[in-house]
Chain A
Amino acid sequence: MKRFAYELSESWKIAVAQMRSNKTRSTLTALGVIIGIVAVTLMGTAIAGIQIGFDKSMAVFGDDVLYVEQWPWKPVDDWWNYRDRKKIKTEYAEPINRMIAATPNSNLVVAVPTSSLLRSVKYGQSEVSNVLIRGTVSDYLITSTFDFKEGRFFNELESRGGANVCVIGYDVADALFPSEIPINKLVLINGQPFKVIGVVSRQGTFLGLFSLDSIVVMPLPAFQKYFSAKSDSDVLVKVKDKTKLAEARDELTGIMRRVRGLPPEKKDDFSINEQQALKSTLDPIKSSIAIAGLFVTGLSLFVGAIGIMNITFVSVKERTREIGTRKALGARRRTILLQFLIESTALCLLGGFIGLGIAYVMCNGIGKAFPSFPIHFSLGLVMVSMIVSILTGLFSGFAPAWTASRLDPVAALRYE
């Protein structure tokens, strides 16, 4: 064991001396690994960033909320079966809530109706178009996570009475009130004035597709009064215990069938959606992006590894006599194997460190230049890169090191 430690430290010394005496060669060889590690690391940060963005987007739906909608959250082949379904109506919320109240030990808490469409919002000379206008009730806060930057959500009284009040998203506030406080100002939607009573904090985008901050929420009766035509409605139902999501789903299905008055032989004519289902639909897409990305960048690392393998073979060839001498002096096969493995690993580690440094700088640069670009640099990634570098070194060094360890000392000593 002690001898192993001495051999190990000796091998490290040789490896470092070797790299220093062949600076150009070592640098050029390490360059392959540097490029490989930069590529793999950047890909890793991008994948981590996508994952974080994905999780954030998914969190918007809440993991304990069921969505009663016409369409399911997954691709369907028989779209015509869904197209002719009856629309979901906001009025369903009331019977659902009644039935929840009537069920002992119900897994459901409350049903919240929402109705949405796209309109532009005006204030003075400014106008924002394609804002999601949503009508709902005060219980909406139970099913959705909203942080308020300023002001508040509408209360039950305003909700029932259909007061002309609204809560605006971060982007809307930003566009319409760049230098004013929006609270108590009147905005025009479809020519109707609404008083701003709250501003929601920044929510970000959904999978980078659309902004979650371009939104206006108002009481449902007010919404129906002015925008009922062509709006999409659904019912959100909060679940009591998210570990019993399946039971809650079954219960809600039963309730919805009764609301729709479906006889037992008929199929459901509505969809109950949840975050988890959406996740499992989107996860494979995300995974294949990750795998494809890592494969392509991994190829560049592989090319780097071949470079290291090649140079280690050259090194073994050049130092055949040295290997013979070492063997004559008592170096065992393992010693020689270790020596060359460490040389290739040291090269790869050097490349790994430099590559990681470059990747770090690039990540920061990209993060500064494009804040919306999903990139996430983590300690875990650093560890993985280092481990990948070491594995690359072992992989690329093994064949030459094995050759060296098997050299016949007599032939090696005589080698010119």
Chain B
Amino acid sequence: MIDIENITKDYVMGEEIVHALRGVSLQIRSNEYIAIMGPSGSGKSTLMNMLGCLDTPTSGCYEFNGRDVSAMDDDELAAIRNREIGFVFQTFNLLPRADSLRNVELPLIYAGIDSETRRERATRVLHDVGLGDRLHHKPNELSGGQRQRVAIARALVNDPSIILADEPTGNLDSKTGEEIMALFESLYQRGHTIILVTHEADIARHARRTVHLRDGLIESDDAMVLGELESVALSKIDHRTMNPLLRK
């Protein structure tokens, strides 16, 4: 689904050229759960921006579902982001003055979907993430975990090919963080492709495959032993928070 071939990215910082990525190749198949790890400055944010079609590589090739993203212009990239990628940010990035429903509807507006369908789909995904009773709450009336759930619902609403989560638990306490990770796990179980960008090993452990970056290069790319991973994952799932999802 995602095929990155030897991409590089250079930034000009004043007089200096920073080589953020120095030739990264990566394949991601459908329904993978992959964590991208690395210390700050390793290029993982840059790689995430590439994967999320927020930025284009300096050189190299990026194919998304068979389409060459590296050659697209701004508006084509916007369309790809809108339909194929669901973003989950560390800081949630919800619109402060809009209620949950309107926040979740936003990608559908940009997709040109009529208001009735928008409402219906947004309501459904909010139910899916366990916020069926918080449709008309504004972000400042929600807890951090609930906000992140709204953000996840927003990422899901357009039924994207991948969900790209950038430190999704970074602004949450560890218990709430685990609840969010359980939500990702269940999304994965239901067939979603999830890319997790994090520097926390605890969080990365939820993924089935981990890619380590260092100095703009892939240091290691190893799928964990399945059995080991599952035992870790299962031990962390709190079945009560999963309830609304399991009912579905």
Contacts and interface: CB of A to CB of B under 8 A. Distances in A.
A327 interface: yes
Nearest to B102: A13
7 contacts: A6-B112, A325-B89, A332-B110, A333-B75, A409-B54, A410-B54, A410-B55
A335 B81 CA distance: 14
B93 A330 contact: no
A202 interface: no
B106 interface: yes
B79 A6 contact: no
A317 interface: no
A7 B97 contact: no
B82 A329 contact: yes
Contacts of B93: 321-322, 324-325, 328, 413
Contacts of A335: 110
**What 4 A-B pairs come out closest when comparing CB atoms?**
A330-B82, A3-B112, A330-B110, A325-B93
Contact of B75 (A7, A325, A332, A413): A332
Contacts of A333: 74-75, 78
Interface string B72-112: 00110011011100010100010101100000001101111
Contact of B54 (A2, A3, A332, A413): A413
B54 A330 contact: no
B109 A322 contact: no
Contacts of B133: none
Contacts of B16: none
Given A322-B95, A328-B81, A6 B109 contact: yes
A332 B80 CA distance: 11
Interface in A152-208: none
A334 B87 CA distance: 21
Contact of A329 (B75, B106, B113): B106
B15 interface: no
Contacts of A10: 109
Contacts of B55: 408-410
B49 A410 contact: yes
Interface string B151-185: 00010001000000000000000000000000000
Contact of B78 (A6, A330, A408): A330
A335 B110 CA distance: 8
Most buried by A among B110, B111, B154, B158: B110
B228 interface: no
A17 interface: yes
Nearest to B76: A332
B78 A332 contact: yes
A2 B110 contact: no
A7 B106 CA distance: 10
B202 interface: no
Given A328-B81, A335-B110, 7 more contacts: A3-B110, A6-B114, A322-B93, A327-B81, A330-B83, A332-B110, A413-B54
Contacts of A327: 54, 78, 81
A10 B97 CA distance: 13
Contacts of B111: 3, 330
Contacts of B112: 2-3, 6
B69 to A, nearest CB: 14
Interface in B207-233: none
A315 to B, nearest CB: 13
Contacts of A288: none
A17 B97 contact: yes
Contacts of B107: 329-330
A303 interface: no
A408 B49 CA distance: 11
A322 B74 CA distance: 18
A21 interface: yes
Interface string B102-130: 00001101111111000000000000000
B52 interface: yes
Contacts of A18: 97
A326 B78 CA distance: 10
A314 interface: no
A331 B158 CA distance: 14
Contacts of B97: 17-18, 21
Contacts of B89: 325, 413
B54 A329 contact: no
Most buried by B among A3, A322, A331, A408: A331
B54 to A, nearest CB: 5
